[in-house]
Chains A and B, each alone.
Chain A
């Protein structure tokens, strides 16, 4: 089957039941999308389908169809994505950094829909993504900095 990943059509020989997470990681070598829990709790595997954040571990490749897939490797194609990346670096958001791909893809979708988010908007959009190191304070600050940039 063909998947539209970060603006490119890619052929992938995946079992239709295979979650998108594993097709990206183990078949296509796009390892920026992370495995965290395999059950939809943590959001480490967050990617965007047609701009909407979804759980890569809960999305079979057969359900993707022609939807545009955006992974962390393609985030910088978005102006909001670049602003968020710059804010993440400057404010030193990551500790271990493992969850941050998912956090950034959730944050990019937030800013595209809500360019000036309130704290409540940030809570609502970001509470699906666990950060075990608990970098939440800086994630919030970085989203606000990107929104103001």
Chain B
């Protein structure tokens, strides 16, 4: 097996208090000099439980279980007896601590194996010396060293092991995967017992001595600054301790201005807010209007795109020579994240030191932003990464961390800032909406030979906003001989951000819906047409880049999903099977959905079959299946009422009443199968999402002959 470690890393060992072994990983060979308990990955004390650090933010993806499992596997620790210890944010010690991009597993998997294996090797070296026996005669079993009939716990050798030189991680022997006992087994989350007992602290549960509760009121039209506010009236409300104006930063995406209200409880602060009256200065975002954007996007059809993103071959000539041409416009709205734990953060500012308790997916940019806003050194900021009650990408942005720190400084005491659900909806970093004016050409054999896409999305000064862009390599680039992708950017001020499978969560719907149309235009079965489009097994694009596309891996999951669903079988009237595939975040996914459509237009999803390939190893099937099933149902949310609209510069929706989410009675059966070809292990938080909405649209077409090209779906179009 080949192993690549992207960056040279050095293991260091040092002694634990009371005699024991700390083992850590450092980019510097001198890491050991500054080592110690704080940045160790594994601590094996002389007596007591082995401790394994959980370094990454936990948002429900199970990473505080799955990465420690990798260490425990190679360490051969007793999983039931280890203690999992969440760490603070410390990129120097722990590398990339991000819950985003489905990258935690690909970033850390091989390193975690080596840390576990190195610790075990050092314990064995120390045991061989202590017992005076050849190393080769020693075995381990769940935290014990074994020689013949003799057994002793690792801790007995930990002090001696800590004096040994740490091995070169690249040379540490790791297990043959066929010998894995823990990796690949169904392991419930390590915090489950605390969660079901009400003992698990989330960010919103942080309590700091002397803290006060804050509400922060901002304009729904972002970047409007406060002209005046009736602060005296608000301060007179029961339970209110203070109220003040927080000045806005001049920077785009800097601190938004508003009014902070400090009170004895969250409820007192929220109630006082009802009495607040603010006069706002004009905002540059006042022009924002969904109706105006829709009209601009429609007018752009047929006009040349403002930006050329990618071109291959000769699209106009190929279109002119095509046996058949097809044009369609696909569109999708802004959508919100809606993490169930409302946005919150607790902060304590003492002189030039800041301590933060934050549910964050990405602490380091938050540290930088707090340092800049408060003018304190980044190293003076301690960030406790609280368990996150849902991320979905929202908490990759740390605006609330900056707000809490600034308000705490102005208040002169620790502050817990809690947003309302209405704040969350109206101040979200939205998944940008978009339009795709598509045209494709088929040759006489029904092959797709030309693909032209005028993509319309959002940004400022002609540049895409965050998560609004499209990559030149995006599917189906490289699979169609004549390919052109251009873009036009509509103006937007409101914040946008990453939402589960950014970009892909919309592009999957667009491309896999249009491909279905092409299949039918070509008179081919949608599965057969897709196989032909993917073509022979090969890698498209630079194999070392994240965008490179292995058509063989996609073919395999496509065929697997079709087989699971019984593709081609006879169905009841107004019932259809839809198929779709999508590659994103290094994961290959295909799925088939069976749906029926009642005469009143009601759509019932009967079953979803998902086949995925995220490399040679599923680390923890418990978390993995949860991620896929959750992604599927999340994507079904986007097919229904999941849309945010703007009028007069502000978001019109407020709470779950305006943005209904799937509930128990709408949860559908989802079968999940993983293919595990011999490729690197990659992540699962996102790639199962993008192919869901198109599979449903395609199933609805199969059932009714009505093609849905707009998210959320207009079910009234399906009435018979």
* B-binding residues in A (CB < 8 A): 15, 18-19, 22, 25-27, 29-39, 41-42, 44, 71-73, 75-76, 84-85, 88-101, 104, 122-124, 126-140
Set of chain B residues within 8 Å of A134, measured between Cβ atoms: 629-630, 632-634, 662, 667
Would you call A42 and B340 a contact (CB within 8 A)?
yes
Would you call B207 and A29 a contact (CB within 8 A)?
yes
Set of chain B residues within 8 Å of A138, measured between Cβ atoms: 626
Would you call B197 and A136 a contact (CB within 8 A)?
no
**Binding site of A, secondary structure by majority: helix, strand, loop or mixed?**
loop
Q: Which of B267-310 contact A (CB under 8 A)?
A: 267-268, 270
Would you call B664 and A127 a contact (CB within 8 A)?
yes
Would you call B340 and A98 a contact (CB within 8 A)?
yes
A86 CB to nearest chain B CB (Å): 9
Q: Which residue of B lies closest to A74 (CB)?
A: B198
Q: Which residue of A lies closest to B338 (CB)?
A: A132
Would you call B389 and A98 a contact (CB within 8 A)?
yes
Q: Which of B33-51 contact A (CB under 8 A)?
A: none
B7 CB to nearest chain A CB (Å): 31
Query: What separation, in Å, do the CA atoms of A63 and B341 have in the docked complex?
Result: 26
Q: Which of B464-478 contact A (CB under 8 A)?
A: none
Number of A-B pairs whose CB atoms are under 8 Å?
183
* A-binding residues in B (CB < 8 A): 59-62, 186-189, 191-193, 195-202, 204-205, 207, 213, 238-239, 264-268, 270, 338-342, 387-392, 418, 420-421, 622-623, 626-627, 629-630, 632-634, 655-657, 661-665, 667, 669-670
Would you call A39 and B191 a contact (CB within 8 A)?
no
**Binding site of B, secondary structure by majority: helix, strand, loop or mixed?**
loop
Asked if A75 meets B198 with Cβ closer than 8 Å, knowing A96-B59, A98-B390, the reply is yes
Asked if A94 meets B192 with Cβ closer than 8 Å, knowing A22-B265, A39-B657, A135-B630, the reply is yes
Set of chain A residues within 8 Å of B187, measured between Cβ atoms: 92
Q: Can you list 13 A-B pairs with a CB-CB distance of less than 8 A?
A: A18-B267, A26-B266, A34-B341, A36-B342, A42-B656, A72-B196, A88-B192, A88-B195, A94-B191, A98-B341, A101-B198, A130-B663, A135-B629
Q: Which residue of B lies closest to A105 (CB)?
A: B198
Set of chain A residues within 8 Å of B202, measured between Cβ atoms: 34, 98
Q: Which residue of A lies closest to B418 (CB)?
A: A35
Would you call A32 and B199 a contact (CB within 8 A)?
yes
Set of chain A residues within 8 Å of B634, measured between Cβ atoms: 133-134
Q: Which residue of B lies closest to A101 (CB)?
A: B198
A60 CB to nearest chain B CB (Å): 11
Query: What separation, in Å, do the CA atoms of A34 and B634 have in the docked complex?
Result: 21
> Residue A33 contacts which of B198, B389, B420, B623 (CB distance < 8 angstroms)?
B198
Q: Which residue of A lies closest to B267 (CB)?
A: A22
Would you call A85 and B629 a contact (CB within 8 A)?
no
Would you call A135 and B340 a contact (CB within 8 A)?
no
Set of chain A residues within 8 Å of B667, measured between Cβ atoms: 134, 136-137, 140
Query: What separation, in Å, do the CA atoms of A41 and B392 have in the docked complex?
Result: 20
Query: What separation, in Å, do the CA atoms of A85 and B338 have in the docked complex?
Result: 26
Query: What separation, in Å, do the CA atoms of A71 and B199 have in the docked complex?
Result: 12
Set of chain A residues within 8 Å of B627, measured between Cβ atoms: 95
Would you call A132 and B340 a contact (CB within 8 A)?
yes
B415 CB to nearest chain A CB (Å): 14
Set of chain A residues within 8 Å of B655, measured between Cβ atoms: 37-39, 41
Which of B196, B341, B662 neighbours the largest number of chain A CB atoms within 10 Å of its CB? B196
A68 CB to nearest chain B CB (Å): 17
Query: What separation, in Å, do the CA atoms of A92 and B60 have in the docked complex?
Result: 11
Query: What separation, in Å, do the CA atoms of A60 and B107 have in the docked complex?
Result: 49
Would you call B661 and A92 a contact (CB within 8 A)?
no
Query: What separation, in Å, do the CA atoms of A91 and B204 have in the docked complex?
Result: 26
B392 CB to nearest chain A CB (Å): 8
Asked if A140 meets B664 with Cβ closer than 8 Å, knowing A34-B204, A36-B421, the reply is yes
Asked if A73 meets B198 with Cβ closer than 8 Å, knowing A35-B204, A94-B60, the reply is yes
> Residue A44 contacts which of B239, B340, B657, B663 (CB distance < 8 angstroms)?
B340
Query: What separation, in Å, do the CA atoms of A33 and B265 have in the docked complex?
Result: 15
A93 CB to nearest chain B CB (Å): 8
> Residue A89 contacts which of B62, B193, B421 (CB distance < 8 angstroms)?
B193
Set of chain B residues within 8 Å of A101, measured between Cβ atoms: 195, 198
> A71-B198, A85-B193, A137-B670 provided; 17 other pairs, C-beta below 8 A?
A22-B267, A31-B207, A32-B197, A32-B199, A84-B196, A88-B192, A89-B188, A89-B192, A92-B186, A92-B622, A96-B59, A96-B340, A96-B341, A97-B191, A130-B663, A136-B662, A137-B667
Query: What separation, in Å, do the CA atoms of A30 and B634 have in the docked complex?
Result: 30
Set of chain B residues within 8 Å of A131, measured between Cβ atoms: 340
Would you call A129 and B664 a contact (CB within 8 A)?
yes
A36 CB to nearest chain B CB (Å): 5
Would you call A97 and B387 a contact (CB within 8 A)?
yes
Query: What separation, in Å, do the CA atoms of A136 and B636 have in the docked complex?
Result: 14
Would you call A104 and B196 a contact (CB within 8 A)?
yes
Set of chain A residues within 8 Å of B657, measured between Cβ atoms: 39, 41
Asked if A92 meets B192 with Cβ closer than 8 Å, knowing A39-B655, A137-B670, the reply is yes
Q: Which residue of B lies closest to A18 (CB)?
A: B267
B683 CB to nearest chain A CB (Å): 15
> Residue A38 contacts which of B264, B341, B421, B663 (CB distance < 8 angstroms)?
B421
Set of chain B residues within 8 Å of A96, measured between Cβ atoms: 59-60, 339-341, 387-391
Query: What separation, in Å, do the CA atoms of A36 and B264 have in the docked complex?
Result: 20
A24 CB to nearest chain B CB (Å): 10
Set of chain A residues within 8 Å of B200, measured between Cβ atoms: 97
Q: Which residue of A lies closest to B665 (CB)?
A: A123
Asked if A39 meets B265 with Cβ closer than 8 Å, knowing A34-B341, A72-B197, A123-B665, the reply is no
> Residue A31 contacts which of B197, B201, B342, B387 (CB distance < 8 angstroms)?
B201
Asked if A39 meets B266 with Cβ closer than 8 Å, knowing A96-B59, A134-B629, the reply is no
Q: Which residue of A lies closest to B59 (CB)?
A: A96
Set of chain B residues within 8 Å of A26, measured between Cβ atoms: 213, 264-267
Would you call A137 and B340 a contact (CB within 8 A)?
no
Which of B197, B266, B391, B664 neighbours the largest number of chain A CB atoms within 10 Å of its CB? B664
Set of chain B residues within 8 Å of A90, measured between Cβ atoms: 188
> Residue B197 contacts which of A35, A75, A128 (CB distance < 8 angstroms)?
A75
B313 CB to nearest chain A CB (Å): 42
Set of chain A residues within 8 Å of B623, measured between Cβ atoms: 92
Would you call A94 and B195 a contact (CB within 8 A)?
yes
B519 CB to nearest chain A CB (Å): 30
Query: What separation, in Å, do the CA atoms of A51 and B471 have in the docked complex?
Result: 55
Q: Which residue of A lies closest to B202 (CB)?
A: A98
Asked if A36 meets B664 with Cβ closer than 8 Å, knowing A19-B267, A22-B266, A42-B656, the reply is no
Would you call B198 and A137 a contact (CB within 8 A)?
no
